[in-house]
Amino acid sequence: MATPPSRPPDLDGPLRPPRPESPSALKGILITEEELRDRIQQLAKDINRVYREESVVVVGVLSGSILFFADLIRQIRSPLEIDFVGISSYRTGTTAGRLETTKPVTTELKGRRVLVVDDILDGGNTLTAVKNTLRPLQASEIRCCVLLERSDRRVQPVQADFVGFRIPDYFVVGYGLDYGEKYRNLPYVGVLDESLLSSTRDT
Ligand code: IMP
Ligand code: MG
């Protein structure tokens, strides 16, 4: 990459209070709609600088990436195809668990440039599993873009090429991210009240 991508902001400041219409399980708001919009615009600029209008296959990781994916691809100038990969992780506490492919990529990737898009890079097992699933399909390159990154719990040596925000050790929901399949439709990223977290979570 000629120019390195922009540095993701570290969100270590205080949370904004929940709004009157926020779910009662929400402790606060970490990233507002405006902050998401502005940062995704910058991410798209970084991405456009790398692909320089050459064709790319954008692969979203189901289901957490869908809102981010939809907003991001609208701003990518390359001719692109889209596909989705389903990977589910079942974990206990902070230990990453078994990973299962629930939907394979069906687009021909041989010799193509691929950009994988996911909601959050945490331990790194999900992104590692996605890359392993795609590798036999012989893409010419695989890059990754994640909206959020929590670096202190990494168990796999995997990195994202484009990162929206670095976040502290909060469990976050909204803008695609869920807790027990709920809250994906919130238009902002919020922090869940820890007392409501159980030991198992779905991707
Ligand atoms: P990893 O495999 O540990 O990197 O975890 C990544 C996956 O776990 C993401 O694709 C998310 O679906 C899920 N995940 C990790 N942290 C959170 C969170 O704070 N909120 C919601 N989902 C999360
Ligand atoms: Mg996920």
Share of the chain above pLDDT 70, in %: 92
Q: Check: CATH 1.10.10.10 for 32-196?
A: no
CA of 54 to the centre of ligand 1 (A): 30
Residue 199, pLDDT above cutoff 80 = no
Predicted pLDDT at 53: 86
CA of 188 to the centre of ligand 2 (A): 17
Q: Is 10 a catalytic residue?
A: no
User: Ligand 2 mean position to 120 CA, how many Å?
Assistant: 7
Task: Tell me: pLDDT of 34 over 90.
Answer: yes
Cis peptide before 63 (omega within 30 of 0): yes
Confidence of residue 196 (pLDDT cuts 50, 70, 90): confident
Question: CA–CA distance from 19 to each of 35, 166, 187, 201 (Å)?
Answer: 16, 23, 12, 25
pTM: 0.93
Give me the catalytic one of 71, 118, 119, 122.
122
- Point out the ligand 1 atom lying closest to the alpha carbon of residue 128: 2
The more confidently predicted of residues 162 and 152 is 162
User: Measured from the CA of 156, which atom of ligand 1 is nearest?
Assistant: 4
What integer pLDDT is reported at residue 30 of this predicted model?
A: 98
The residue ranges of every structural domain in the chain are: 32-196
The radius of gyration of the chain's CA atoms, rounded to the nearest angstrom, is 16
Tokens of 37: 């919009």
pLDDT in tens, 106-146: 999 999 999 999 999 999 999 999 999 999 999 999 999 99
